[in-house]
Amino acid sequence: MKIVNLSENNSILNTFLAEIRDITIQNDSMRFRRNIERIGEIMAYEISKELAYETVTIQTPNSEAVQNLPADNVVLGTILRAGLPLHTGFHNYFDRAGNAFVSAYRKYTSENEFDVIVEYLASPRLEGKTLILVDPMLATGISAHLSYQALLTKGAPAKTILASVIASQQAVDYAISHFPEDTILYCAAIDPILNEHAYIVPGLGDAGDLCFGEKE
């Protein structure tokens, strides 16, 4: 698996990443959502470099121009609900992509133990397409993998790219052992550990709650 950690290179991405981590800025949920969206836009641009391209002739008012355009048939797959702002950022750039949505959530059996439940799936056919699966917080990697397995019921993609704002090293290791070998993983940052509740440390907290408010 190819791993790309975008924060290893200095860019404006680091500003947005710092702001979504900062507890004094997190109180502004609109800014939090927008920063997640902007990170999605930057990641979409970087991921576009992984696609296949074809040469197309364009008619301008004055003459013809030759342009290399993406040839992949892209589907954006998103894990609800925290994934929605990240999905929007990707969709701003891959505006002609198909869209898939999976509901995957933790169902706690004790204070620190949980199962991951997948309840909802809406997706176009994926056979032969490029699946970009976006999940803002890749904590254990289990939700992303189960969502991927659910999506495979719609056909096997030719290429799979996994995109996360913050991943734990444990989730990266899990993805390496559970996703196809040719999967590409893009992260804005990779954090070192999980705490006893399986939240990423230092992480940023509950991305879904910070986007949309607390849930019961």
The DSSP line for 174-208 is HHHHHS-TT-EEEEEEEESEE-TTS-EESS-S-HH
- Give the domains, in start order, of the chain with CATH numbers: 2-212 (3.40.50.2020)
Q: What is the pLDDT, as a whole number, of residue 110?
A: 74
Pick the more confident residue, 37 or 111.
37
Distance, CA of 70 to CA of 60 (rounded, Å)? 19
Q: What is the pLDDT, as a whole number, of residue 22?
A: 97
Q: By the 8 A CB rule, do 115 and 107 touch?
A: yes
Q: Is 115's pLDDT higher than 80?
A: no
Dihedral, CA of residue 85, residue 149, residue 44 and residue 136, to nearest 10: 40
Q: What is the pLDDT, as a whole number, of residue 107?
A: 73
Parallel, antiparallel, or unpaired: how do β-strands 114-122 and 98-108 relate?
antiparallel
Mean residue pLDDT across the chain: 94
Q: Is 113's pLDDT higher than 90?
A: no
Q: What is the pLDDT, as a whole number, of residue 19?
A: 97
Tokens 């696609």 appear where? 51
Model confidence at 116, in pLDDT bands (50, 70, 90)?
Answer: confident
pLDDT tens, residue by residue, 60-69: 999 999 999 9
pTM to 2 decimal places: 0.93
